Structure 1
Amino acid sequence: MKRMVQSSVSDLEAQTRELEQQIHKLERRGFHMTPTEQEQAIRLKKLRLVTKDRLASIR
C-alpha cells in the first residue's frame, strides 16, 4: 500500500511540474496571448490547483 501511495505522489508531482511548464510557456507570450490561449492557461491553472490539492491530501 505504501508503495502505491509513493507512486501516486510521484505521479502527481510529475503532473504538477508538467502543468507548471505548460502554464509558463503560455504566459511567456504575455499580452500577445490569444483568447484561446488565455482560456487554456486558466484551465491549466485550475487543473494544477486540483492536482496540488490531491497531492496535499495524500501527504
Structure 2
Amino acid sequence: MTTKQPCQDCGNTKTTEIDLSLADGTEVTFVSCANCEARWWDKDGRRVKLEKVLDLARKATT
C-alpha cells in the first residue's frame, strides 16, 4: 500500500494512485495529478520510466 504523494511536477496534493502487481510480481503505483495532468509510475518511492514498467509487465513468472 502506498501513501498519498504530492505531484512531482506541480506539488499539488490532489493525485490519484492505482496500485498494480505486474506479471513478475513487482508492485508499482500509477500516479496521476488532477491539477497539471502529470502522470508517472512509482516503485518503492522512486519514479520509474514507462518503458521499464512495460518491460516488467511482459515478464511472466515461471
Common topology (TM > 0.5): no
Greater RCO (Cα-Cα under 8 Å, separation 6 or more): 1
Higher-Rg member (1/2) = 1
TM bucket (normalised to shorter chain) is: 0.3 to 0.5
The structure carrying a bigger strand percent of its residues is 2
